[in-house]
């Protein structure tokens, strides 16, 4: 179960993609009491990728594609 709803994930993706645009332009961005600068570009990209994975998982669950992986290693 995800800690975020699909709506919340979409909102976070919008915020982080906006942060990426601002940092790419060389700006410093403040969000939720944190400052992000060019040095944090990798963190922003990583966070976007994480929220995209969460979005895909939530979307698949809503469509009934609840995929589970089995391990046959002993």
Domain coordinates in residue numbering, the chain: 6-60
pLDDT given for residue 59 in this prediction: 86
Neighbouring CB atoms inside 10 A of 22's CB total 16
3-state secondary structure of 14: helix
User: Can you give the pLDDT at residue 70?
Assistant: 59
Q: Find out whether 52 and 37 touch, Cβ atoms under 8 Å.
A: no
Q: What is the pLDDT of residue 24?
A: 78
> In this predicted model, what pLDDT tens digit does every residue of 21-73 receive, in sequence order?
887 777 677 778 887 765 577 888 899 999 999 999 888 877 776 555 556 76
Check whether 11 has a pLDDT greater than 90. Answer: yes
Tens-digit pLDDT profile for residues 12-22: 999 999 988 88
Alpha carbons 4 and 18: distance in angstroms, whole number: 19
């Amino acid at each position: 179960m995800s800690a975020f709803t699909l709506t919340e994930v979409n909102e976070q993706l919008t915020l982080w993609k906006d942060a990426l645009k601002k940092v790419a332009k060389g700006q410093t961005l403040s969000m939720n009491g944190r400052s992000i600068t060019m040095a944090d570009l990798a963190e922003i990209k990583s966070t976007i990728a994480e929220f995209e994975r969460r979005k895909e998982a939530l979307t698949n669950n809503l469509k009934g594609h609840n995929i589970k992986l089995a391990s046959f290693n002993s």
